[in-house]
């Protein structure tokens, strides 16, 4: 058996919680019915399991079960929300943010190629959107605003309630990519005036390949233009036979997060602060990327002056960390998020994202502090040697 590095990349993905797996397993071989088989008990049993999960996901974000559509994950949900809304409205002006996930930004670039006007709002040094800038950007033809609830790299939390109030007063639709926020911080689609919300199970201890899109019930009905056509499942919004085991796992993971979120956030926030304090004392050149005041409790993204990023990650081989989004990890380009917060000096190449999770302990954090301190100190010393 090989030794594996200490896992601190919980933004990229999370392990399936054993309680979630226990709920899923029977639906692979014992209760394997198709939920769209309406003529017999096998189908009814699967349908009931799906509807139970729909209610569990809805409860996590303050929605009603009828407003939840199951998808393959947040990327599909983002595409369905944005393309579906603009398609249904026949175009219009779109507003988004420079630090959004690529699955939002790339869709918006596609809108521009098709002739739609798109405004990309800047952020401040902490990664925050200025609500006044959003208000100023709104136009009579603004159809959709998309703002990520929690950033996947630097953990910045946007003021969604304030943004929602502005967008609602204007009469546009508000979408939020909540892939990193769902299950980690409280979300209430009613209080925040969110019309469309994307989430995915594998970010909060559910299975990969299963997510959901919240679509607010409103009058007149928000009839998203489907991006997948076929059997008319999910009220015609997203065709295809439902992934019952995945949906069951998504629902159970959402329920556990709803019940345990407050306690878990406090524990992880304390560990994150311990990590930051320990590193700051030993490495005075450390810089934190993003605001500490409005941040996911399990996120810490830091940069180090004077060392090269790839060398740092290679030297930290016994720690499973990343420089940013796992979805873009194959690219050597500087993070667009760091560019947006003006953190792209020489330190941008030596940036590390620590993502803490359910299995992270105080002993793990103390090990990380010592290990990172040792590695960074050695790399700094090597950089000062004559070449």
Q: Looking at 108, 210, 257, 327, which residue is catalytic?
A: 327
CB 300 within 8 A of CB 275: yes
What is the rounded CA–CA span in Å between residue 167 and residue 173?
A: 7
156: CB partners within 8 A, 6+ apart: 99, 123, 126, 127, 128, 150, 290, 291, 294, 295
Q: Which residues pair with 295 in a beta bridge?
A: 156
Q: Which residues of 270-306 are buried (b: 16+ CB within 10 A; e: fewer)?
A: ebbeebbebbeeebeebbbbbbeeebbbbbbbbbbee
Nearest to 138 by CA among 172, 90, 98, 87: 172
Cα–Cα distance for residue pair 246/240, rounded to 1 Å: 14
Q: Is 116 a catalytic residue?
A: no
- The radius of gyration of the chain's CA atoms, rounded to the nearest angstrom, is 22
In 10 A of CB 220, how many CB atoms?
5
Both tokens of 293, joined, read: 């005041």
Taking the C-alpha atoms of residue 240 and residue 231, their distance in angstroms, rounded to an integer, is 6
Strand 93-97 relative to strand 118-121, pairing: parallel
Annotated active-site positions, please? 327
């Amino acid at each position: 058996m090989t030794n594996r590095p200490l896992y601190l990349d919980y933004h990229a993905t999370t392990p399936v919680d054993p309680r979630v797996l226990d709920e899923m397993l029977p639906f692979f071989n014992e209760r394997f019915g198709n939920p769209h088989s309406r003529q017999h008990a096998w189908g009814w049993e699967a349908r009931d399991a799906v509807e139970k999960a729909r209610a569990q996901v809805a409860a996590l974000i303050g929605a009603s079960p009828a407003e939840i559509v199951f998808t393959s994950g947040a990327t599909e949900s983002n595409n369905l929300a944005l393309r579906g809304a603009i398609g249904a409205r026949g175009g219009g002006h779109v507003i988004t943010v420079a630090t959004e996930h690529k699955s939002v930004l790339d869709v918006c670039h596609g809108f521009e190629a098709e002739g739609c006007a798109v405004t990309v709002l800047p952020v401040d040094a902490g990664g925050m959107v200025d609500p006044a800038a959003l208000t100023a950007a709104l136009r009579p033809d603004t159809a959709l605003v998309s703002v990520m609830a929690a950033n996947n790299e630097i953990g910045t939390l946007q003021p969604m309630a304030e943004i929602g109030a502005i967008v609602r007063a204007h009469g546009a639709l508000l979408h939020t990519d909540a892939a990193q926020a769902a299950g980690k911080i409280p979300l209430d689609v009613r209080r925040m005036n969110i019309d469309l919300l994307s989430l995915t199970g594998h970010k909060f201890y559910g299975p990969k390949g299963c997510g959901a899109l919240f679509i607010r019930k409103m009058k007149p009905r928000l009839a998203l233009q489907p991006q997948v056509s076929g059997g008319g499942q999910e009220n015609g919004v997203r065709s295809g036979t439902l992934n019952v085991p995945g949906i069951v796992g998504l629902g159970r993971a959402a329920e556990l997060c709803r019940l345990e979120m407050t306690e878990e956030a406090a524990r992880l926030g304390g560990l994150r602060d311990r990590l930051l304090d320990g590193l700051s004392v030993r490495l005075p050149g450390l810089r934190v990327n993003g605001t500490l005041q409005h941040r996911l409790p399990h996120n810490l993204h830091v940069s180090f002056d004077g060392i090269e990023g790839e060398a740092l990650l290679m030297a930290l081989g016994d720690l499973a960390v990343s420089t940013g989004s796992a979805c873009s990890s194959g690219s050597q380009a500087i993070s667009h998020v760091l560019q947006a917060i003006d953190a792209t000096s020489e330190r941008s190449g030596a940036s590390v994202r620590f993502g803490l999770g359910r299995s992270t302990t105080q002993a793990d954090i103390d090990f990380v502090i010592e290990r990172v301190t040792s590695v960074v100190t050695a790399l700094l010393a090597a950089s000062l040697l004559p070449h």
